């Protein structure tokens, strides 16, 4: 097992752009492992018992956690571990298990959808897509000053989206069988009309006109339903990266957040210097995203600049080089330590497959997921701050 970063290392991390992380989790029956449609019960119990605000999702077998606005990665790490602890403990007291996994490993595709009005509109618009939408992702928000800047930052992040997708690929199983993909969630999600890599936008006006077209077509009812892999948030002063599966462990989510924040800081610096982002064609990004979903961090990835296949791990090293100037010694040390843990233990998809290979039982996969969901959380005995953004 690779050495875990110490709390002292985390406390040396600098202040940078603000960052927040949203994680979606699956609730399963403690005995059968099938999705348990009781997210609203867990949300209410967490509020009453711990004073923590969780949220429901489209599928009632899911719950979502949201960190407050954080100013350093040490706080991100504390918040993620504490939120996982609270949510898992709340689920356990009600007879359910909380799993950080991109798709339900067992159970059918049809889900019970939330009664919230917004989700009823989703069901009305997207029909069977919504009825089969039981996937869990991780979204990272990083603060930016205005929409024009956000659009240009998104352009700079586009080439790195498939690389970020490899980091947390964590959904190899669906309906009790191996899908052959490291991130089956990515394939399920790609069916939605507003999902996938965004276009390259010349300006905020170009972005606005494209959004207007999607609204007119019915592909989105409002701008929050435009689900590109990176987008300017419609309701927060942030850029939001949405390509990732929910990470198997909290520290893998921290690694994702570290890379996203550093990429945004790098993009902001390039934008201030007037450096344009490479206009990678959307079809190249789609191909790279598919390959990243199939192979994950252990396999091959498409380098979108050379359009050649290279080891996914090599692209992670290139990503680290790309953002290095916006990582101080503490950040860089943290990223290297967390990458070494991934190297030693494999990504989430690989760990699930190893668990299944031991005896051919899906129950072992579920046990592995439950363990990974809370890995390292015993170190963090505090409680999360309330989400106030």
Query: pLDDT digits over 91-146, tens only?
Result: 999 999 999 999 999 987 666 666 677 767 777 777 777 777 789 999 999 999 99
According to DSSP, the residues that pair with 231 across neighbouring strands are 240
Show Cβ contacts of residue 298 under 8 Å, excluding neighbours closer than 6 positions: 182, 312, 313, 346, 347, 350
Structural domain includes residue 4: no
- The residue segments making up the domain with residue 210 are 16-374
Rounded distance, CA 194 to CA 349, Å? 26
Cα radius of gyration (the chain): 19
Average pLDDT over residues 308-322: 97
CB 191 within 8 A of CB 129: yes
In the DSSP assignment, the letter for residue 256 is H
Span between the terminal Cα atoms of the chain, in Å: 37
Mean pLDDT taken over the chain: 90
Rounded distance, CA 362 to CA 36, Å? 17
Closest CA to 352 of 99, 136, 111, 140: 99
Rounded distance, CA 299 to CA 353, Å? 14
The three-state secondary structure class of 198 is coil
Structural domain includes residue 10: no
Give the DSSP H or E segment for 90: helix 73-93
CB 119 within 8 A of CB 55: no
Structural domain includes residue 385: no
pTM above 0.85, yes or no: yes
Q: Structural domain tally of the chain?
A: 1
φ, ψ for residue 216, nearest 5 deg: -60, -40
Structural domain includes residue 99: yes
Domain CATH code at residue 132? 3.30.590.20
pLDDT digits (tens, 9 = 90+) for 246-271: 999 999 999 999 999 999 999 999 99
Structural domain includes residue 380: no
Confidence check: pLDDT of 381 > 60? no
Rounded distance, CA 225 to CA 53, Å? 23
Structural domain includes residue 164: yes
The three-state secondary structure class of 171 is strand
Structural domain includes residue 8: no
- Residue 382 — very low, low, confident or very high, per pLDDT cuts 50/70/90? low
Structural domain includes residue 261: yes
Positions of E strands within 74-146: 96-99, 137-143
């Amino acid at each position: 097992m690779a050495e875990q970063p110490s709390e002292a290392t985390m406390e040396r991390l600098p202040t940078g752009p603000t960052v927040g992380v949203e994680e979606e989790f699956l609730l399963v029956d403690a005995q059968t492992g099938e999705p348990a449609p009781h997210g609203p019960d867990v949300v209410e119990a967490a509020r009453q018992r711990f004073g923590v605000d969780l949220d429901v999702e489209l599928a009632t077998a899911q719950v979502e956690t949201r960190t407050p606005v954080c100013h350093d990665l040490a706080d991100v790490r504390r918040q993620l571990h504490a939120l996982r602890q609270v949510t898992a403990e709340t689920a356990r007291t009600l007879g359910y298990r909380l799993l950080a996994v991109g798709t339900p490993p067992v159970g059918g595709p049809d889900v019970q959808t939330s009664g919230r009005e917004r989700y009823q509109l989703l069901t009305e618009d997207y029909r069977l897509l919504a009825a089969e939408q039981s996937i869990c992702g991780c979204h990272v928000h990083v603060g930016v000053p205005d929409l024009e800047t956000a659009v240009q930052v998104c352009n700079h992040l586009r080439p790195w989206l498939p690389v970020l997708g490899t980091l947390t690929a964590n959904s190899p199983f669906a309906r009790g069988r191996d899908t052959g993909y490291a991130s089956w969630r990515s394939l399920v999600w790609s069916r939605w009309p507003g999902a996938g890599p965004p276009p390259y936008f010349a300006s905020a006006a170009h972005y606005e006109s494209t959004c207007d077209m999607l609204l007119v077509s019915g592909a989105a009812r409002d701008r929050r339903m435009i689900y590109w892999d990176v987008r300017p948030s419609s309701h927060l002063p942030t850029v939001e990266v949405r390509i990732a599966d929910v990470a198997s462990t909290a520290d893998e989510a921290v690694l994702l957040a570290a890379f996203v924040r550093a990429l945004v800081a790098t993009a902001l610096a390039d934008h201030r210097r007037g450096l344009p982002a490479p206009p990678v064609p959307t079809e190249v990004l789609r191909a790279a995203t598919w390959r990243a979903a199939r192979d994950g961090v252990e396999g091959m990835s498409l380098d979108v600049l050379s359009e050649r296949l290279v080891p996914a791990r090599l692209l992670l090293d290139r990503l680290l080089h790309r953002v290095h100037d916006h990582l101080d010694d503490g950040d860089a040390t943290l990223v290297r330590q967390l990458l070494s843990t991934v190297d030693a233990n494999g990504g989430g998809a690989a760990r699930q497959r190893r668990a299944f290979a031991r005896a051919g039982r899906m129950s072992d996969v579920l046990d592995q997921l439950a363990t990974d969901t809370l890995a390292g959380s015993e170190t963090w005995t505090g409680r999360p701050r309330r989400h106030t953004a």
